[in-house]
Structure 1
Amino acid sequence: MRIGVTIFLTDETVRPVPLARELEQRGYDALYLPEHTHIPVSRDTPAPMGEPLPREYGRTLDAFTALAQAAAVTERLRLGTGITLIAQHDPVVLAKQVATLDHLSGGRFTFGVGFGWNVEEAADHGVDWRTRRRLGRDRLALMRALWAPEPTAYDGPFGAVRASEAHPKPVQAPRETPAGPLYGPRTLLGGAAGPRLFAHIAEHADGWLPIGGGGLTESLPLLRTAWEEAGRDAKDLTVVPYAVRPSAGKLAHFADLGVGEVIVQLPAAGPDEVLRALDSYAEFL
């Protein structure tokens, strides 16, 4: 079982460089970072993790900048977003950021994407909440046109790009699917279990990033069915439980389900508290 970590890195927590060095030295597999550009204080959206909203949500570092620092001081540690709020980005700029990070890290990047929960944050980015999922899928398709090996145009319902020279390309090789090759780094979709999400994963992604990992006994067979009905090879499906509070029993259960990697939650804290958490998780490495 490969064990990675996720943490809300902020201006008040441990910094990316010393954390990345500690993770690599201790044998952890990956560092995943969430993102929020801002949290409007006039928020009407209930927080799914409960109220009051934890302080770190409004103080997160930019994930791509922090991961670039981590990439620069490590050689093996894999890097990921958990998650990129794809509908809130300019897809041409985001395609460049993703490709650059994958290039500079030697192909170590996993692109975790999702659609968010904060209506007010999304609205400030000009996102219509009712269409955010279709918008996100369209932006991913546009990005993949820019990642294609030859100049490729894209004209979708929400955006278009001319056939362009767009380098660097992501290091990771394309994955062949019945709908065509998936260009770019490994891409995992976040979101709650259900037929709509599973259909999207089977069509557009390399796998699922379920928060907490609860309910996988029931949901994994449904995802695998959707995956195989889409003509995908069962061995190519990746499921990575995310922001897990680990225990030996929980990790053994995941392993029994065929899960090979897990991302555990670190506290949004200073170096001493984070190192204590890493020490406490060492038994699972």
Structure 2
Amino acid sequence: MDFGIVFANTGPFVEPDAAAAFASHAEAAGFESLWTVEHVVVPAGYESTYPYDPSGRMPGNDDAPIPDPLVWLSYLAAVTSRIRLATGILIVPQRNPLVLAKQLATLDALSGGRMEFGIGVGWLEEEFDALGVPFDDRGRRTDDYVVAMRALWADERATHHGEFASFDECVMRPQPRRGTIPVHVGGHSDAAARRAGRLGDGFFPGKGDHAELERLFGVARQAAFEAGRNPDVLTFTSGGNGAIGSRALDEVGELAAMGVTRVVLPSFLFWQDTEEALARYGAEIIAKAP
């Protein structure tokens, strides 16, 4: 079982010294990955419903800093050597796929192949409006962009003709160290699970109890099978709010039995006494996990 930290680029870790120390201590404690969140802008007074809190609002204030995930990860790539650098998630339909493919490949190459690409379609309609990007077609746009980016990463001269992206004989260098970058589809809906099965290397549900996670994993596996892919190659990442406290190891074992390969913990668990808290979790849980 691998362990990661989500919401990594929030709270005290938006500051450069704190972020660098956090990443170094997480790596030393045995954490496998850091997962960033993003919003380019948060329009004040938004009315869209945040799907991960009963209040329908994001945690914190609208003006809480959220550094750009790729810039933040690039900064930390230079002060670490093993920990994987992940977006969890990056809102794909808001970005130009050729520019994004180049940014991700560059970061992957410079970090020695440590990039993990967690993707989402987004929920904040007012942000799409501010960026001038259509909201209603964001799912189809995401699917098309993923296919286009994979072509740029893998082909000597990439050609792609989709609904939203189209290009011929494009050379993009550098390419990722391993020929591609793992794509982890985020979201807790059946649509996200099916997208993971059709297109993803992994699935990262944003929420759900054990029964719901098992159901969603089944949806993803079935979608992979229907798309002619091997369902067994999918990896599953799950939030680890239950993987703390006296039942932590039991929770990790139960998730592993369901097929989860990575547990991620929220960064706020480590906002205080960061080095000690990370080291303690590494010794008490990571070192003993299945």
TM range (shorter): 0.7 to 0.9
**Does 2:59 correspond to 1:54?**
yes
Q: Which moved more, 1:46-55 or 1:202-211?
A: 46-55
Kept in 1: contact 2:91–2:122 (CA 8 A): yes
Secondary structure of the 1:43 match is: coil
> What CA deviation, in whole Å up to 9, does each residue of 1:210-252 have, x standing for no partner?
1135222332223222222322223311111146452323212
Residues in 1 aligned to 2:240 and 2:90: alpha-carbon distance in whole angstroms: 15
Secondary structure of the 1:241 match is: strand
| Cα distance change of structure 1 residues 269 and 225 upon mapping to structure 2, 3 Å threshold | closer
Determine which of 12, 20, 24 is the counterpart of 1:21.
24
List aligned pairs for 1:200-239, cutoff 5 A: 200-214=195-209, 215-239=212-236
Residues in 1 aligned to 2:30 and 2:187: alpha-carbon distance in whole angstroms: 28
What is the match of residue 189 of structure 1?
A: 185
What is the match of residue 170 of structure 2?
A: 164
| Cα distance change of structure 1 residues 32 and 26 upon mapping to structure 2, 3 Å threshold | same
Determine which of 77, 97, 104 is the counterpart of 2:103.
97
| Cα distance change of structure 1 residues 56 and 170 upon mapping to structure 2, 3 Å threshold | farther
List aligned pairs for 1:240-279, cutoff 5 A: 240-242=237-239, 244-247=241-244, 248=248, 249-267=250-268, 272-275=272-275, 277-279=277-279
TM-superposed CA distance for 1:56, in Å, is: 6.2
Q: Provide the TM-score with structure 2 as the length reference.
A: 0.86
Determine which of 187, 193, 218 is the counterpart of 1:198.
193
**Does 2:138 correspond to 1:132?**
yes
Secondary structure of the 2:169 match is: coil
Secondary structure of the 2:3 match is: strand
| Cα distance change of structure 1 residues 77 and 12 upon mapping to structure 2, 3 Å threshold | closer
Residues in 2 aligned to 1:219 and 1:193: alpha-carbon distance in whole angstroms: 8
TM-superposed CA distance for 1:11, in Å, is: 7.5
Amino acid at match of 1:207: G
**Does 2:81 correspond to 1:75?**
yes
Equivalent pairs counted in the alignment come to 273
Kept in 1: contact 2:2–2:32 (CA 8 A): yes
Secondary structure of the 2:183 match is: strand
List aligned pairs for 1:108-123, cutoff 5 A: 108-123=114-129
TM-superposed CA distance for 1:111, in Å, is: 0.3
Determine which of 37, 42, 50 is the counterpart of 2:40.
37
TM-superposed CA distance for 1:113, in Å, is: 0.3
TM-superposed CA distance for 1:257, in Å, is: 1.0
Residues in 2 aligned to 1:225 and 1:41: alpha-carbon distance in whole angstroms: 40
**What RMSD over aligned residues (CA atoms) do the two structures have, in Å?**
2.2
Residues in 2 aligned to 1:224 and 1:203: alpha-carbon distance in whole angstroms: 9
Q: Provide the TM-score with structure 1 as the length reference.
A: 0.87
Kept in 1: contact 2:200–2:234 (CA 8 A): no
Secondary structure of the 1:267 match is: helix
| Cα distance change of structure 1 residues 8 and 32 upon mapping to structure 2, 3 Å threshold | closer
Amino acid at match of 2:58: L
What is the match of residue 106 of structure 1?
A: 112
Residues in 1 aligned to 2:95 and 2:37: alpha-carbon distance in whole angstroms: 14
> What CA deviation, in whole Å up to 9, does each residue of 1:184-217 have, x standing for no partner?
20001111231x3333222211120111352223
